[in-house]
Amino acid sequence: MRDWQLIRIGLHGEDACAFKQDRHPWLQCIRLVTRIATGLAMMSLLISNAYANDLMTPIVSRCFDTSDQVRLCYQEQILDDQSSPVLVFIPGWTMPAAIWSKQLAFFAGKRSTIAFDPRGQGLSDAPQFGYSLERRVKDIAELLNQFPDRHFVLVGWSLGVLESLAYIRQIGPARIEGLILVDNSIGEGVAKSAVKTSTPGKRPFFEALRKNRAQTMRAFIAAMFRSPPGPEVTDSILASAMKTSLEDSFRLLSYPKPRSYWNDIIYETSMPILYLVTPKWQQQADGLIKRHPNARARIFPRAKHALFWDEAVQFNQAVEEFVAPLEGVVTRFPWP
């Protein structure tokens, strides 16, 4: 029964997601209804692993307003240990923070964690603007600014890999102790094929989404897992995916950067990097550990794209082994 203990999911509590006093009442009602609907759809995923046994500090949902007046939310458990870096989990394309529930449960009471709902995803607002790479990186920076006395390890999955790398280029490595990059290309080696990504909505996958978005997304979600995660989890993830407008979701997959952009960032810093991937990225992993002095990699041969879910025990162990040496060490990495 412990898995079903109380968890705040951003629907109540003065310290979580409180409305601004100066907003119009009807806007507050719309926001509340939207948040409740999304929260209920995601509740099973959030609470299934939200608490570890004998957890003293709860995982809570909090929100903040960005500089462009968008309310973004995150799940957090911040321990009173400033010597250890905070693990910041950044999900993939249109995915919710709750997809990291197995990591939040594992690290509960052991390490400080933040699981972010980027704009348009999970419990965060879905405005009709701000889906550029630059704005998304700024959102991450403003999230980290909520914790001015802490340092971090960014854990980016899929699209979150690119946004984590772009953070280092755009904001700089200050307060970032390491990068954990999960199952996406980092531009290592020679590309197998050249795919233009600068024009939104011009791919077969996009056309399938235009024809039947819900059906296409259900198939996409199912393909992320080795074993079906069950209808409740699938519905929870789908609720987040459908929250982002279709055209804005295309923009998120169409950042106008060449693959060399991401690879250059890797080698412009000497900070520790952990590359956790499926066999699809084996060659990039091999190239990375040969060329980068502080990089290591691990392949998950039995997992699919959501490898942190399929092989959660092995994934969490790899993260812990990477982060443990960073305790008590605040490093200032040089930057061009």
| Residue in 204, 155, 185, 177 with CA at minimum distance from that of residue 316 | 155
- Using the Cα atoms of residue 119, residue 225, residue 102 and residue 36 in order, give the sign of their dihedral: positive
Could you say which of 1.10.10.60, 3.40.50.300, 3.40.50.1820, 1.10.3720.10 is the CATH number of the domain covering 2-323?
A: 3.40.50.1820
Average pLDDT in the 278-303 region? 98
Strands 176-182 and 86-90: unpaired
User: Do residues 316 and 102 lie in contact, with contact meaning Cβ atoms separated by under 8 Å?
Assistant: yes
Query: Would you put residue 201 in left (φ > 0), alpha (ψ -120 to 50) or beta?
Result: left
In sequence order, what are the residues at sequence separation of 6 or more whose Cβ sits closer than 8 angstroms to the Cβ of residue 275?
181, 186, 281, 284, 285, 288, 289, 295, 296, 297, 298
Does the pLDDT of residue 55 top 50, yes or no? no
Token representation of residue 114 = 């933040």
Yes or no: say if 87 and 113 are a contact pair by the CB < 8 Å rule. yes
Task: Retrieve residue 189's tokens.
Answer: 């080696």
Strands in the chain per DSSP E: 60-65, 71-77, 86-90, 113-117, 152-157, 176-182, 273-277, 295-299
Q: What is the pLDDT of residues 317-334, one digit of tens each?
A: 999 999 999 987 655 555
Could you tell me the pTM of the whole model? 0.84
Interval 88-105: pLDDT, tens: 999 999 999 999 999 999
Q: Strand 71-77 and strand 113-117: pairing? A: antiparallel
Determine the Cα–Cα distance for residues 75 and 98; give it in Å rounded to an integer. Answer: 8
pLDDT in tens, 167-183: 999 999 999 999 999 99
Bridge partners, residue 333, by sequence: none
User: Mean pLDDT over all residues of the chain?
Assistant: 85
Confidence of residue 195 (pLDDT cuts 50, 70, 90): very low
Q: Please check the confidence at residue 70 and state whether its pLDDT lies above 60.
A: yes
Contacts of 252 (CB under 8 A, 6+ apart): 93, 94, 131, 136, 159, 244
* Cβ contact 54:109 at 8 Å: yes
How far apart are alpha carbons 35 and 320 in whole angstroms?
33
User: How far is C-alpha 275 from the chain's CA centre?
Assistant: 15
Highest mean pLDDT among 42-46, 52-56, 171-175: 171-175
Pairing relation of β-strands 113-117 and 86-90?
A: parallel
Kindly compute the dihedral angle of the four CA atoms of residues 17, 18, 19, 25, in this order, to the nearest 10 degrees: 110
Which range has the top average pLDDT, 121-130, 186-195, 228-237? 121-130
> Is the confidence at residue 32, as pLDDT, over 80?
no
Residues 176/115, Cβ–Cβ less than 8 Å? no
